[in-house]
Structure 1
Amino acid sequence: MRTGSAQPPVRAAAAPRTGPVPHEPVAPRRVPGSWAERLAPFVLIAPTALVILALRLYPLLLGVNFSFTGDGERNGTAVGLDNYRELIGDPLFRTALSNVGLLVALLPIAVAIPGLLATFIYLRVPGHRLYRSVYFFPAVLSPVIIGAIFNLLLAFDGPLNAVLGGLGISPVDWLGDPDIAIFAVVGVHVWATFGMALVVFLAGFATLDPALLDAARVDGASLPRVIWHVIIPSLARTIQFVFVTTMIGMLTSMFGLLFVMTSGGPEGSTYLPEYYIWTQQGQMNRPALASAASTVLFVIMLVVGLLQVTLLQRAGKDD
């Protein structure tokens, strides 16, 4: 017979831990980089900065300073704003400035042409691979060769007027009429250089989200609406870049075509600032006046470029 209640078994007390107590992981404290790490980016960009400073900015400052000196008997002496006053009174320079205004007005067309062609290539129209090669081909040709070819094509008795004559249209003096010659030269320049802008646009299309185009197609948007509401806003920065580079090319890279096709004629109607600068420097031996014209051209490109970027940015925000 059991006289007492059963006692529960007694558990042995856990032995105390003698090792290190675990704790929550702590993020490593960021240690500031050494002075060499902080200096590394500046060291990497230093060669390029020095080249730009030595070959771009320093000559630019020298040219601006030289524009306030005289030519001929007053060579090296300060003349203030005399060179700029002479530029304002020179009919050829005023014609060159008016042609700059014409180029700026035609700039949207020069940008729209490669933009539309790049759009068609991106949408893979039939033969798009062939078109890509054909459109870029003129960009590798020398301006002298292009000018010589179009001198033959645009001659008064050339093939183009022969075609027009076959259609019952009177021949046009493309390079001899003062009201037409500048448009002919600009058209040739656009044809010869839009291949580079085409490549830039195609690179911009590589960043375009295809889902946006698919959504627009599902919604039944027409091609003009897709271009206006999808492609242009998505490529806003690419368009800004092409606008600025095309403008710079039109103002500073047409000398070869002008020299071969018109030599500034007829009656000075195709003068541009760069051709005027070459004439004053190379033929008239007036480097100070040429420096003043170069300074004016630089200011024009800077102002027009900033205005274009500002307008395009505002247009992008409005969209």
Structure 2
Amino acid sequence: MPPLATPVRTPVRPGTPTPRRRVRSGRGAAGRSRAERLAPYVLVAPAALIIGVFRLYPLALGVNFSFTGDGDRNGQAVGLDNYAALFEDPLFLASMRNVGLLVLLLPVAVLIPGLLATFIYLRVPGHRVYRSVYFFPAVLSPVIIGAIFNLLLAFDGPANALLGTVGLGPVDWLGDPDIAMFAVVGVHIWATFGMALVVFLAGFATLDASLIDAARVDGASLPRVVRHVIVPGLSRTIQFVVVTTMIGMLTSMFGLLYVMTGGGPEGSTYLPEYYIWFQQGQMGRPALASAASTVLFGVMLVVGLGQIAVLRRAGRED
């Protein structure tokens, strides 16, 4: 039997440190895992603090203030008297009917930027120019937009002059109670659809282009591609645009209303936000305005959740 080989040892120079294995202590690993768990909360804390201080706390104060009185009853608890007064006020009821009109017109406000974003995504001729032109109204002030359309929609303005060239009579766009609200909403859609267009284009960036190419190879028409490929692929984007557009229509039309109609004619263009300003700034009834604000918040919450539920159900059915 051959003798066993003797292992060769490498001589160690004097002063050379001996390598040691790093042993992770349980305390260090536990500390790191705890830090990893707390990291998301630390990152979210500043935003949550800002929302709590500047959003939720004022909202709670406003709700509490809506149960107090105005005038001689200032600061006194009045229960639901302000809410009862709201639903007996014809102006507030007119503003709530206009909210229903906005809900009915919401699909138009979402469909227009959605179709334009689709055409840009499909690279129609001149799509780069269209991208800039479509977004341009979003950078204009509502006051400037209202002043421009006051001139365009005047009874003797260019819009009626154009109608006259095709044999149609003049339309009192801003003076007819049955038409004025549609005119203001149309201007608002024109002025704000650029932001929704940007959101849709961002959603298209996440869409799998191979699905559209496959549908085209199979001979699918553009309407079928939109319905069966693009809409399901952008379901989350559509939900976001629907909710934000509805919120914008309920809370961002004050400038146009103030400049174009002033709530008229006959209160036909009142919206809750304009009613709130009128009661607070013109009538000196802040408690009633707080009650109207609370009702508006409740309407926005119900409408937004309802829209999300409907869109999710439609997405599952597709």
TM-score above 0.5? yes
Cα deviation, residue 117, structure 1: 0.1
Tell me the distance in 1 between the aligned counterparts of 2:194 and 2:31. Answer: 46
Question: Is residue 101 of structure 2 the alignment partner of residue 125 of structure 1?
Answer: no
What amino acid does structure 1 have at the position aligned with 2:170?
P
The 1:218/1:29 distance shift into structure 2, 3 A limit, reads farther
- What amino acid is aligned across from residue 299 of structure 1 in structure 2? G
Confirm or deny that 1:149 pairs with 2:161: no
Secondary structure of 2:243's match?
helix
Aligned runs of 1:60-209 on 2, under 5 Å?
60-209=59-208
Q: For residues 148 and 184 of structure 1, what CA distance do their matches in structure 2 show?
A: 14
1:6 corresponding residue in structure 2: none
Structure 2 distance, partners of 1:303, 1:29, is 53
Q: Does 1:245 align with 2:235?
A: no
Q: Deviations over 1:24-75 (max 9, x none)?
A: xxxx999444344433322222111111100000000000000000000000
SS of the equivalent of 1:48 reads helix
The letter for the 2-side match of 1:12 is P
TM-score by length of 2: 0.92
Residue identity over aligned pairs, in percent, reads 77
Q: Taking structure 1 as the reference length, what is the TM-score of the superposition? A: 0.91
Q: Is 1:50 the equivalent of 2:40?
A: no
String of CA shifts for 1:150-203, please: whole Å, max 9, x gaps. Answer: 000000000010010111000000000000000000000000000000000000
Letter in 2 for 1:123: L
- For residues 145 and 277 of structure 2, the distance between their equivalents in structure 1, rounded to whole angstroms, comes to 20
Quick one: which amino acid aligns to residue 188 of structure 1? Answer: V
- In structure 2, what residue type is equivalent to 1:276? Y
Which ranges in structure 1 are unaligned for 5 or more consecutive residues?
1-10, 20-27
Match of 2:315 in 1: 316
For residues 195-231 of structure 1, the C-alpha deviation after alignment (integer angstroms, 9 at most, x for no partner) is 0000000000000111000100011000000000000
> CA-to-partner distance for each residue in 1:84-116, whole Å, 9 max, x for gaps?
000000000000000000000110110000000
User: 2 CA distance for matches of 1:73 and 1:153?
Assistant: 46
Q: How far, CA to CA, are the matches of 1:13 and 1:220 in structure 2?
A: 82
In structure 2, the partner of 1:289 is 288
Deviations, residues 213-259 of structure 1 (Å, cap 9, x unaligned):
01000110000000000000000000000000000000000000000
Q: Which residue does the alignment assign to 1:12? A: 2
Aligned match of 1:216: 215
Counterpart code for 2:216 = R
Letter of the structure 2 residue corresponding to residue 166 of structure 1: T
Structure with bigger gyration radius = 1
SS of aligned partner of 1:268: coil
In structure 2, the gaps of 5 or more residues are: 10-23
Aligned counterparts of 1:14 and 1:314: Cα–Cα separation in 2: 78
Paired residues in the alignment total 301
Deviation at 1:14, TM superposition (A): 4.9
SS at match of 1:80: coil
Structure 1 CA distance, aligned partners of 2:103 and 2:25? Answer: 56
Shift, 1:17, TM fit: 7.9
Counterpart of 2:221, as a letter, is S
Q: Residue type matched to 2:55 in 1?
A: R
Q: C-alpha separation between the residues in 2 aligned to 1:291 and 1:38?
A: 40
Instruction: Summarize deviations over 1:248-279 as a string: whole Å, max 9, x none.
Output: 00000000000000000000000000000000
